Every structure is written in C-alpha cells, then in structure tokens.
Amino acid sequence: MATFKTNREFFNAIVNGTEITTDMVDFAKSAIEKMDSKNKNRRETMTKGQEANEVMKSDILTYMEENGKQSAKSLADYYEVSTQKISALMKQLADSGKVIITRDKFEGSSSKVNVYSLVES
C-alpha cells in the first residue's frame, strides 16, 4: 500500500497511471475535507477591510439619521474617501434594505445623481 505525504506524491501517482488504491481515495477525501474547512473559515471570517467597512456603514447610517438624505459626493467629502467607495457601501446598505437609492438633483448639482435616504422604520 502506498502512503502519500504530499499532494505532489499523490498527483504524480495519478499522472503515472498508478492503480487507484484505498490509500489514494482516503488521501483525496482528507484533502477535500481540509479544503472545505478552509473555505468555511474564509466565508465565516471577515477581513480587516470588511470589518472597517461595516463600521463605516454604521457611521454613515448615524450620520444620515442626523443630516438626512445624501449624495455619494457629499458622503465621500465628509468621510474623505472616494465616491466609488461610498457608492459600493451604499449599494450594500440598499441591498440590505437600510437605504433607498433615487436619481435626483442634489445640493445644486446640474445633473441627476444617486441620492441616498434612510428607509423609514
């Protein structure tokens, strides 16, 4: 019976046409379990960037409670980040049902922009 210490040994055995053994099947099952475990942990754990975005989204909601509807530009200027970052965060808030996005003129803009307002509870 062959035992495999590395993925390379396992893959070489397959490439070389070695007959599939129970050791090979057990090794493959173990490797799949390890991948599944890593993927589960990755899905359940937020990155530092995601954690920071969650804090920022909470701050934005508080800011909007105090100051009313906002545009991406007004929020970007206030938080000193790009309008693209704000737009992405606001889309997430809209997808979660906390914010409504409408197209309208805002604070003297000459064209319509996305205007974000809180969902009324």
The architecture CATH gives domain 48-118: Orthogonal Bundle (1.10)
Burial class (CB in 10 A: 0-12, 13-18, 19+), 68: exposed
- Which pLDDT does position 43 carry in this prediction? 84
One-letter amino acid at 76 equals A
Dihedral-angle region of residue 17 (phi above 0 means left; psi in -120 to 50 means alpha; beta otherwise) = left
* Domain layout of the chain by residue ranges: 7-44, 48-118
SS3 23: helix
pLDDT tens digits for the chain (121 residues)? 457 888 898 888 889 888 888 888 888 898 899 999 999 888 888 889 999 999 999 999 999 999 999 999 999 999 999 999 999 999 999 999 999 999 888 877 778 889 999 998 6
pLDDT at 78: 96
What is the rounded distance in angstroms from the CA atom of residue 116 to the CA atom of residue 114?
Answer: 6
pTM of the full structure: 0.66
